[in-house]
A and B are shown apart, each in its own frame.
Chain A
Amino acid sequence: MDIEEIQKEIVEEFSIYDDWMDKYNYLIELGKEMPAMDPKYRTDQYLIDGCTSRVWIHAELDDEGKMIITADSDAIITKGIVALLIRVFSGHSPEEIKDAELTFIDEVGLKENLSPTRANGLLSMVHQIRMYALAFYTKQQSGKKE
C-alpha cells in the first residue's frame, strides 16, 4: 500500500467512531500497543522539541532502501498519534515520504484536537520525519551519481 492508501484506511477505521471518546480510546489503544523503541534512541539526540510531552523519533534505511521509523513518547495520546504517523510513513522510500501529503489528521476528525501546534508537537514530529527522508534521499541520490 502506498502512503495515500494507508491514510485512507486509517480514515475508514476512524469513521466507525462517532464520538471523541471512542476516537481517543482508540488512540490510547494504539499508543499502548506501539512496539517499544530501542532504549538507546530514547536520548536527547532523538528528542523532538514539543511543549508538553516528549517524543523521540529515530529512522534508518533497511536493505531495500526503505525508511524504518521507530518512536516513543511519555504521553500515551501523543504515542497513539506517533503510532499513526509510523503506520503511514514507515517502510516507504525517502522519496515517497519527503513528497507525501499528510491528510488523515484532518479527515479523521481530530484536527481541532491534534492541530499542528506546539502543544502536541505534531508539526515538529512530521517535520522531523520529513527531515530524515530528505537526508536519506539526498544520500541515496549522491550514491547513485558515484
Chain B
Amino acid sequence: MLDVEKIRKDFPILGQQVYGKPLVYLDNGATTQKPTIVLETIERLYNKENSNVHRGVHHLSNVTTENYEAARKTVQDFIHAEHAHEIIFTHGTTSSINAVAFSFGERYVQAGDEIIVSGMEHHANIVPWQMLCERKGAILKVLPVTEKGDLQLEKLDDLISEKTKLLAVTQVSNVLGTINPVKKIVKIAHAHNVPVLIDGAQGIQHEKTDVQETDCDFYVFSGHKIYGPTGIGVLYGKEKWLNEMPPYQGGGDMIKKVTFEKTIYEDLPLKFEAGTMNYIGAIGLGKAIEYLQKTGFDDIIAREQELEEYATSRLMQIPGLRIFGTSDHKTGIVSFLIGDIHPYDTGMILDKLGVAVRTGHHCAEPLVESYGITGTVRASFAFYNTKEEVDILYNALLKVIEMLG
C-alpha cells in the first residue's frame, strides 16, 4: 500500500495554493511533477559534478560519464531491454519518433511503400510518418478505432500488405486512456514481417513495460511524463535495426574517425547521440525511475487504475456528463464533456477552483474529431493524486454546471 501523505511530501509543488485554493493537479498526462530526489540530483550535478560526458580525461568528466551510463542501465532494466546500447537518449518522445521516421525511412522506405498508424495516435505519432511518406512517396494507412475506444485489431491483418514497412501505435491513448494490447499487435505485425514502434509516452508511467516480452522493435517515451526532467527522452530499438539504420544527426561524439573524404560512425548507442547530450536530464530520469521502483511500481500502477475507476464512477453521477473512451482496459485518463458546455469554458472555471485539467483536442485531432466534437476536458491521474481530489473535481464540475448549464 502506498502512503499517499508521505508521497505527496516528496512533491513540494503539490502543496501550493492557486487563487487561494489548494492545487488539484490533474494534468499529469501533459506532464508529471518531479520528486525532491530528482530536483536535488539536478542541483547537485550542476553544483558539484557538471562536466561533459565521453570527452574529458579529468575527474568530473569521468564521474558524469559514469552517472550517464548508469542512467542508461537504469532505463535498460526498467523496460527490460536486452542491451544497454539499445537505449538511445533523445529530447523526448517526439524526437525519438522523428529519429526513427528519418533513419528507418532512409534505410527501408521507398515510393509506394506503406506505413500504418492507428486512429488514436497523438500528432507526434502521425506527423513524422506523414513527413516520411511525403519525402518518399509512401502511403500512410490508419487502423480504425471503435466507438468505445479500442483498436479494431481484427482489421489489422487485412490492412497489412507486402508494401507495409512499419506499424506505429500507442501503448496508452492520451485522450481515451485505452491500454492497447501491444503484445498481440506486435505478434500480428511480426507474422507479416512488419516491425512495430510503440509510443510509450502515456504508457511508461502507468504500465509495466517489457520490450523483450512485447517483442516490439522500437519503444519511445519522454522523461517528463515519468517524473523526470523535461528535455530528455528515450528511443529503444532492437540492436539489429539500430545497427542497420543510418544516424539521423551528425556531429561530435557519434564518430570513430572523421576525414574530409569519409566519416566512420561510432558503435551503438553513440552513433545516435550526436553533440552534447542532455546528460543531466538523463541522470535525473534515472533517479526518477529509481524513485518509482523504491516507492513500489506495482502499487503505483494499481493506484492509478483505482483513481481512474473512482473518477469514472464519480463523474458518471453527474447529469449530462459523457465520457469518451470506455474501453475495458483503461488507466490514468478520463476524458469527458458535460452537456453542450464547451470544454474551454469548463477548464476556465475549474482553473479558478484550483483544479488543473487539460482541455481541447489533446494533440490528437483525428481521434477527437471522429467523435464529432472539437475537444474534451481531460483529467489525468498520477499516484500522488487522492480520492479527495477526485471529489473536489466532482464538486467543481457541479459548480461549472451551475454557472454554465
Residues of A within 8 A of B (CB): 20-21, 24-25, 28, 51-54, 74-78, 113, 119-120
Q: A101 vs B184: C-alpha distance in the bound complex, in angstroms?
A: 60
List the B side residues contacting A25 at CB < 8 Å. Answer: 403
Q: A119 vs B359: C-alpha distance in the bound complex, in angstroms?
A: 9
Q: A6 vs B31: C-alpha distance in the bound complex, in angstroms?
A: 42
B19 and A76 form a contact (CB under 8 A) = no
Q: A76 vs B341: C-alpha distance in the bound complex, in angstroms?
A: 8
Q: CB within 8 Å of A: which of B356-405?
A: 359-360, 374-375, 403-404
B342 and A75 form a contact (CB under 8 A) = yes
Q: A54 vs B345: C-alpha distance in the bound complex, in angstroms?
A: 12
Task: Taking A24-B403, A52-B359, A113-B348 as given, write out 19 further A-B residue pairs in contact, using a Cβ cutoff of 8 Å, ordered by the A residue number.
Answer: A20-B19, A20-B352, A21-B352, A21-B403, A24-B349, A24-B352, A25-B403, A52-B343, A53-B342, A74-B374, A75-B342, A75-B344, A75-B345, A76-B404, A77-B344, A77-B345, A78-B342, A78-B344, A113-B351
A77 and B374 form a contact (CB under 8 A) = no
Interchain residue pairs with CB less than 8 A apart (30): A20-B19, A20-B352, A21-B352, A24-B349, A25-B403, A28-B404, A51-B360, A52-B343, A52-B344, A52-B347, A52-B375, A53-B342, A53-B344, A53-B345, A54-B374, A74-B342, A74-B374, A75-B342, A75-B344, A76-B341, A76-B342, A76-B345, A77-B344, A77-B345, A77-B348, A78-B342, A78-B345, A113-B348, A113-B352, A120-B344
Q: A54 vs B375: C-alpha distance in the bound complex, in angstroms?
A: 11
Closest 5 CB pairs of A and B: A75-B342, A52-B360, A53-B344, A75-B344, A52-B344
Residues of B within 8 A of A (CB): 19, 341-345, 347-349, 351-352, 359-360, 374-375, 403-404
List the B side residues contacting A28 at CB < 8 Å. Answer: 403-404
Q: A20 vs B345: C-alpha distance in the bound complex, in angstroms?
A: 14
List the A side residues contacting B348 at CB < 8 Å. Answer: 24, 77, 113
Q: A113 vs B344: C-alpha distance in the bound complex, in angstroms?
A: 12
Instruction: Tell me how far the C-beta of A76 lies from the nearest C-beta in chain B, rounded to whole angstroms.
Output: 5
List the B side residues contacting A54 at CB < 8 Å. Answer: 374
Q: A54 vs B352: C-alpha distance in the bound complex, in angstroms?
A: 21
List the A side residues contacting B344 at CB < 8 Å. Answer: 52-53, 75, 77-78, 119-120
Closest-by-CB residue of B relative to A23 is: B352
List the A side residues contacting B347 at CB < 8 Å. Answer: 52
Q: A75 vs B400: C-alpha distance in the bound complex, in angstroms?
A: 13
Among B342, B347, B349, the one with the most A-chain Cβ atoms within 10 Å of its Cβ is B342
Q: A47 vs B161: C-alpha distance in the bound complex, in angstroms?
A: 40
Instruction: Tell me how far the C-beta of A48 lies from the nearest C-beta in chain B, rounded to whole angstroms.
Output: 14
List the A side residues contacting B349 at CB < 8 Å. Answer: 24
Q: A54 vs B19: C-alpha distance in the bound complex, in angstroms?
A: 27
Instruction: Tell me how far the C-beta of B232 lies from the nearest C-beta in chain A, rounded to whole angstroms.
Output: 25
List the A side residues contacting B342 at CB < 8 Å. Answer: 53, 74-76, 78
List the B side residues contacting A77 at CB < 8 Å. Answer: 344-345, 348
List the A side residues contacting B345 at CB < 8 Å. Answer: 53, 75-78
Q: A53 vs B348: C-alpha distance in the bound complex, in angstroms?
A: 12
Closest-by-CB residue of B relative to A78 is: B344
List the B side residues contacting A51 at CB < 8 Å. Answer: 360
Q: A25 vs B402: C-alpha distance in the bound complex, in angstroms?
A: 10
List the B side residues contacting A120 at CB < 8 Å. Answer: 344
Q: A28 vs B348: C-alpha distance in the bound complex, in angstroms?
A: 12
List the A side residues contacting B343 at CB < 8 Å. Answer: 52
List the B side residues contacting A24 at CB < 8 Å. Answer: 348-349, 352, 403
List the A side residues contacting B404 at CB < 8 Å. Answer: 28, 76
